[in-house]
Amino acid sequence: MTIPSPFRGTTGGTSFEEQTIDYPLLNRRIQDEIMALVILAAEVQIALGPTLAEARSLSPAVQRSLQAIDRLQQTLDDLQRVMGFMAAQSPHAGIKIEPLSHVIKLRHLAHKLFDDVDTPFALAEDDSGDIAWF
């Protein structure tokens, strides 16, 4: 039995130079990988919970690092929703920003995606969603 390949183009060998992959299939695979990272970030937060409960005080640097884990999880979750939205769109047409912006919770991410901003990441609590403490 031959399993159909999602790749098109040359078969056999290891070169991907002439092969293509269907847009919906690649999109689903990227969504799956992003969701796995969201789950992994949540597991890190859960694992750190008991340790943090016993800590008497945390330095500001440690607190920022812990917030970064939460920001990572929220950003990956938003990117997974963006990929889900894109899966329903034609791969050959432009994507309307207004409906897509409604699936994004983090305002800084929407700003970076839609405003053509190449500046380094800077987070302000008032525009970036809620921080989920352990």
DSSP string covering 89-125: S-TTSPPPHHHHHTT---HHHHHHHHTT--SPP---G
- Please give the average per-residue pLDDT across 31-48, as a whole number: 91
- Count of Cβ atoms closer than 10 Å to residue 75 Cβ: 23
Q: What are phi and psi of 21, to 5 degrees?
A: -130, 145
Q: Is the pLDDT of residue 10 over 50?
A: no
Q: Is the pLDDT of residue 13 over 50?
A: yes
What does the longest C-alpha to C-alpha distance in the chain come to? 62
pTM of the model: 0.67
Q: How far is CA 126 from CA 69, 80, 108, 115, 131, in A?
A: 18, 23, 10, 19, 11
Q: Where are the domains of the chain?
A: 22-122
